[in-house]
Amino acid sequence: MNTKVLRIGTRGSQLARTQSGGIAQQLMDAGIPCELVEISTHADRTSGPIAGLGTQGVFTKEIQEALLRHEIDLAVHSLKDLTTRLPNGLRLVCTPPRANPFDAVVCDRGEQLVNLPHGARIGTGSPRRRAQLLAVRSDFAISDLRGNVDTRLRKLREGEFDAIILAAAGLERLGLHAEATEVLPPHIMLPAVGQGTLGLEAREDDAVAEAAAKLLHHAPTFAASTAERSLLAALQGGCLAPIAAWARLTEVGTSDSHQLRLTGVVLHPSGTPHLFAESDAAMADADALGRHVAKQLLDQGAAELVQASRR
């Protein structure tokens, strides 16, 4: 039996360590010794809006470099932070079962989104969330919000915002699910590509780390992630573009068989126009499904909206 300690790279935030610690515990329960290696990323060392950093992979680059230098054996990412094109020598080897993919409203007064007062101040650092919020109500005053979950909740309670938007999965993983006033349904706000999913990345030549990660692999989540990431790549979008996608299994008729359904949305930063496309395919065709839905969006003018988000 291999007794090598698997070194797992993680960002230092409480949420990142909770997520990586959960992966490490599952692997240790399977008999694989693990240790967490904390790595500071560019975004963790920088304040201000993410858009101002001017690059992709701001939450992952240093961790990937540590992988390539053999300082760690496995990286645990929030998949929504991972670029669709990985560095040479690395690959995505595992996606455990997806957690809640949707976004949550947190409001001290307990008000739901539709009941917030005119001109309500809402905190989010996500262009995707901002655009979808404005598509619902153009009167919202949306301001940038960064920091770990505790920092964001503190800013809400200090009165900087009337409400903030956070990933439901992050709240749930931290045991803070009761903080959510409501979880927004997909017809109001589609999630980010890969939201709620963890991505385990390893070197292409490290069969030991890949075999360990595969113990936690969940094929339906991987298929959904593949479709969403394929769509994002075809649209040539990144974390700064108002692009949302949600892939999930659906039953076919009355049988026990399933297909993968992918819904994609591209918005202007102002919330309008708002383009929508949806299609189904077999799980094995997840990559092609992503490209197909992306083409539907591009045929409607998505490229111009993606470009508008970069101005």
Residue 121: its H or E element: strand 121-123
Q: Are 222 and 95 in contact (CB under 8 A)?
A: yes
CA gap 116, 181 in Å, rounded? 12
For residues 70 and 204, give the distance between their C-alpha atoms in angstroms, rounded to a whole number: 12
Helix (H) or strand (E) holding 291: helix 286-299
Q: Are the C-beta atoms of residues 65 and 255 closer than 8 Å to each other?
A: no
Measured between alpha carbons, how far is 167 from 86 in angstroms, rounded to an integer? Answer: 24
> Looking at this protein, which amino acid is placed at residue 122?
I
81 is catalytic: yes
Write out the two tokens for 227. Answer: 């479709």
Distance CA 298, CA 304 (A): 9
How far is it, in rounded angstroms, from Cα 225 to Cα 80?
Answer: 10
Catalytic residue among 29, 73, 81, 144: 81
CB atoms within 10 A of CB 48: 10
Catalytic residue set: 81
